[in-house]
Amino acid sequence: MDPNRLIGWSSFPSDHAIEWFLLATTLLFVSRRLGIFLYVYVSLTLCVARIYLGVHYPTDILAGALIGIAVASSSRVPTFRKAVTYEALRWLDRAPSSFYAFFFIITQQLMEGFASLHEFETMLAAILKALLKLI
């Protein structure tokens, strides 16, 4: 990992903990055994490793875990679920091809931890900085 990527970066809350605890909580709703297994696995591998490597403090992981669990739990509330998914499902009905293309990109970004978006942001900031020097 390039240490320069961490300059100006806030580790609070842990986005990895949010994603993995959200997934573990979601799986817990489907299969209690699988959900508990994923909770233990994520806690002992991902979370401990990130604390050991100094990428996160324990509070970063704890806050991320609580956010992930809260978001997954809120998805079980029908009113909240309908409010969040209504527009996306309407888009799916109106234009399925653009819906699936967009969510393919989002899924790909989730899998790589939004690294390409961070690179794009860095490049865009450098371009804007250079343009401002010209003005």
Q: Which of residues 6 and 130 earns the better pLDDT score? A: 130
pTM greater than 0.85: no
* Amino acid at the residue 61: I
DSSP-assigned letter for residue 43? I
- Alpha-helical (H) ranges within 31-135 are 32-41, 48-52, 58-74, 78-94, 96-111, 115-134
Closest CA to 26 of 71, 64, 59: 71
Cis-peptide, bond into residue 96, ω within 30° of zero: no
**Taking the CB of residue 113, how many other CB atoms lie within 10 A of it?**
12
Is the pLDDT at 81 greater than 70, yes or no?
yes
H or E segment at 28? helix 15-30
What per-residue confidence (pLDDT) applies to 16? 80
pLDDT digits (tens, 9 = 90+) for 5-24: 666 666 678 778 888 889 89
Whole-number Å distance between alpha carbons of 82 and 78:
6
Q: What pLDDT is recorded for position 2?
A: 63
Tell me the per-residue pLDDT of 101-127, one tens digit each, with 9 for 90 and over.
998 988 888 777 667 777 777 788 888
Helix (H) or strand (E) holding 20: helix 15-30
Asked if residues 63 and 14 have their Cβ atoms less than 8 Å apart, the reply is yes
